[in-house]
């Protein structure tokens, strides 16, 4: 089993940050304004994550399928990413956040790639939270790339090449799908779907999702630790 950065007691949470567009349209604002509000939420959630026991946080910022969006929106998202990396760098260092960007880099601008490398280098000693931002990311592509890169194909080798398993997967915005996010890593993730649009998501919502996670019994395919009464077993 691969050794990961996080302690056993801390969680790996993945978040599909959905609902920026609908949040903005409901207020007569542009979709870009929704994404700007979404970046504010990222700041709040990153700050709150270690306090609720999250050691690794993977955020889905831009999927490989998001290139299909209108060029102006793609441009706004890429620009926001660059601004976030520059603006939040000091705060990440102060908060002990190690920042890493996952996904393809070959379709990003050289300026954004440089900002990513700077942020990753400046925060590499962060030990309180490992923040992974998925940009131009597709889980299916990542699995293919990992399979091509391992010497011998096995569950352990592929798992190590891909990254830490996800404990808790949160999707905001009311939709209930995985949208090509961390498909392998979510094999036994607990899924929490929230109707809250991402710009309205806050520390309390994150804490509530973690509480829901902690209340669930994770069996990983095994039988429950305490035998259930027949009726409960039937209902399960
Ligand atoms: C989905 O909402 C959200 C995105 C495609 C982008 C998420 C990006 C951010 C929160 C900002 C950039 C992030 C960082 C880390 C700097 P949507 O636009 O699909 O919303 P809709 O479903 O309401 O249309």
Can 66 be counted among the known catalytic residues?
yes
Q: What is the DSSP string of 72-129?
A: HHHHHHHHHHHHHHHHSHHHHHHTTEEEEEES--TTS-HHHHHHHHHHHHHTTT--SE
| pLDDT value for 227 | 57
User: Would you list the DSSP string of 144-190?
Assistant: HHHHHH-SS--HHHHHHHH-PPPSEEEE-SS----TTSSTTTTTTPE
Assign 223 a pLDDT band (cuts: 50, 70, 90).
confident
Q: Is the pLDDT of residue 230 over 50?
A: no
Q: What is the mean pLDDT of the chain?
A: 92
Q: What is the pTM of this model?
A: 0.92
Q: How confident is the model at residue 234 (pLDDT cuts 50, 70, 90)?
A: very low
Q: Which residue has the higher pLDDT, 206 or 217?
A: 206
Domains belonging to the chain, first-starting first, are 11-214 (3.40.1180.10)
Whether residue 5 is predicted with pLDDT greater than 70 in this model: the reply is no
Residue 147: count of CB within 10 angstroms of its CB: 13
Is residue 163 in contact with ligand 1, taking CB distance under 6 Å?
no
Which pLDDT score, from 0 to 100, does residue 226 have? 67
Q: How far is the CA of 25 from the centre of ligand 1 (A)?
A: 13
Instruction: State the pLDDT at residue 102.
Output: 98
Residue 51 Cα to ligand 1 midpoint, Å, equals 24
Q: pLDDT category, 213, cuts 50, 70, 90?
A: very high
pLDDT more than 90, % of the chain: 88
Tell whether ligand 1 has an atom less than 6 A from the beta carbon of residue 81: yes
pLDDT at 224: 76
| 38 in contact with ligand 1, CB cutoff 6 A | yes
Q: How far is the CA of 8 from the centre of ligand 1 (A)?
A: 30
Mutate to test the pocket of ligand 1, among 22, 36, 38 (most ligand atoms within 8 A of CB): 38
Model pLDDT for residues 68-109, shown as the tens digit of each residue: 999 999 999 999 999 999 999 999 999 999 999 999 999 999
**Is the minimum distance from the CB of 80 to ligand 1 under 6 angstroms?**
yes
Q: Is the pLDDT of residue 35 over 70?
A: yes
C-beta of 102 in contact with ligand 1 (< 6 A): no
What pLDDT, on the 0 to 100 scale, is given for residue 96? 97
Query: For this structure, is 18 an active site residue?
Result: yes
190 pLDDT exceeds 90? Answer: yes
C-alpha 100 to ligand 1 mean position (Å):
18
Q: 72-89 b/e with 16+ CB inside 10 Å = b? A: ebeebbbebbbebbeebb
Average pLDDT over residues 168-173: 98
Q: At residue 3, does pLDDT exceed 80? A: no
Summarize the confidence of residues 206-214 as an average pLDDT. Answer: 97
Q: Is the CB of 84 under 6 A from ligand 1?
A: yes
């Amino acid at each position: 089993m691969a050794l990961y950065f996080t302690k056993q007691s801390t969680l790996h949470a993945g978040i599909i940050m959905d609902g920026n567009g609908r949040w903005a349209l409901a207020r007569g604002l542009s979709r870009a304004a929704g994404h700007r509000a979404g970046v504010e939420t990222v700041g709040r959630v990153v700050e709150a994550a270690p306090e609720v026991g999250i050691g690794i946080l993977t955020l889905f910022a831009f999927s490989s399928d998001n290139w299909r969006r209108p060029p102006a929106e793609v441009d706004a998202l890429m620009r926001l990413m660059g601004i976030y990396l520059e603006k939040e760098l000091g705060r990440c260092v102060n908060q002990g956040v190690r920042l890493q960007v996952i996904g393809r880099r070959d379709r990003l601008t050289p300026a954004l790639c440089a900002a990513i490398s700077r942020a990753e280098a400046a925060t590499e000693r962060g030990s309180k939270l490992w923040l992974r931002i998925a940009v131009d990311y597709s889980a299916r592509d990542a699995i293919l790339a990992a399979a091509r890169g391992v010497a011998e194909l096995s569950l352990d080798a592929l798992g190590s090449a891909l990254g830490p398993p996800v404990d808790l997967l949160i999707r905001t915005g009311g939709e209930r799908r995985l949208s090509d996010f961390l498909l392998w890593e979510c094999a036994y993730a607990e899924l929490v779907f929230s109707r809250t649009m991402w710009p309205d998501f806050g520390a309390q919502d994150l804490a509530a999702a973690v509480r829901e996670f902690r209340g669930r019994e994770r069996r990983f395919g095994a039988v429950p630790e305490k035998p259930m009464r027949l009726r409960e077993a039937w209902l399960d």
